[in-house]
A and B are shown apart, each in its own frame.
Chain A
Amino acid sequence: MGVGEVAYSSPDISDEPCSLTEIYQRQLPFYLAIGMPYDLFWDGDVTLAKSYREADEIKRKVKNQQLWLQGLYIYDALCKVSPLLHAWSSNAKPLPYAAEPYALTEQEAAQRRQKQEAQKARRSIQGCQCGQPKPTSSGIVERKGAWGRKWTMLLIRYILK
């Protein structure tokens, strides 16, 4: 058993011989605790107890997984702010916290990779559109290339006249 792991199970019934009713009574609190209704325990299908036990085990595993993930987020956050913890560092800045939650499934991770690649491709295409006129900060379209040269030549000729 690992550190901090909590183990529990239904009470042991092999202590001493007793009536079946006593065994039921002894087991009842455990089944009520894991969510089995009282009526179902006494009057329902007897095999349902096993299903409730298995369901409880799944719930415990899910809970454990959630706690582990929470710990991972906390650890990640601590690592990201760790530059601030350097006492003699002059301009320490923390790294930004993760922009989105961790991908929990392979499918989710693949979708994110595709999305990132698409964004990267879009950015590089936008960067390559240098032949087109770019608006200046004042909103006037700056024309470069053939038209620009033509106007410059006309201006020089006008001056020389």
Chain B
Amino acid sequence: MANTVHFTYGEKQYTLEFTRTTIAMMEKQGFHFDGLHTKPVNTLTTLFSGAFLAHHRYTKPALIEEIFSKLDNKEELFAKLLEMAMETVDTLTDDSEDEKGNVAWESGK
């Protein structure tokens, strides 16, 4: 199963997910992952609104902004969204090399 983000806002349950079509749509509208270095804020908010395209395509931009402003732990959310976006590419490539000799790590407190 693909990585997804779930939350409830205004008694409605939302599922954020990326498909290859939604990433292609975002890129067509001018989104580029290189922007993460030059204009990170814009890029990350666009990434967040793009994650609505798969399951909640007709959500109004104003509502997305409202939800975005009320969400906490944004850094972790963006990391997750980036991981979800990159998964659309990572799953296309042979992962046999990744499994060899990579060192596993996990965060601790």
- By a beta-carbon cutoff of 8 Å, the part of chain A in contact with chain B is 9-10, 13, 17, 19-21, 23-24, 27, 31, 41-50, 53
Contact = CB atoms under 8 A, between A and B. Distances in A.
A44 B21 CA distance: 9
Given A13-B92, A23-B89, 14 more contacts: A10-B93, A13-B93, A19-B27, A21-B24, A21-B27, A24-B24, A45-B1, A46-B2, A46-B88, A46-B91, A47-B1, A47-B2, A47-B87, A47-B91
A9 to B, nearest CB: 6
Interface of B: 1-2, 18-21, 23-24, 27-28, 32-34, 85, 87-89, 91-95
B24 A49 contact: no
Sorted nearest first, the 7 A-B pairs with minimum C-beta distance are A21-B24, A42-B21, A27-B92, A49-B91, A46-B88, A45-B2, A46-B2
B87 A10 contact: no
The DSSP consensus for interface residues of chain B is loop
Contacts of B33: 20
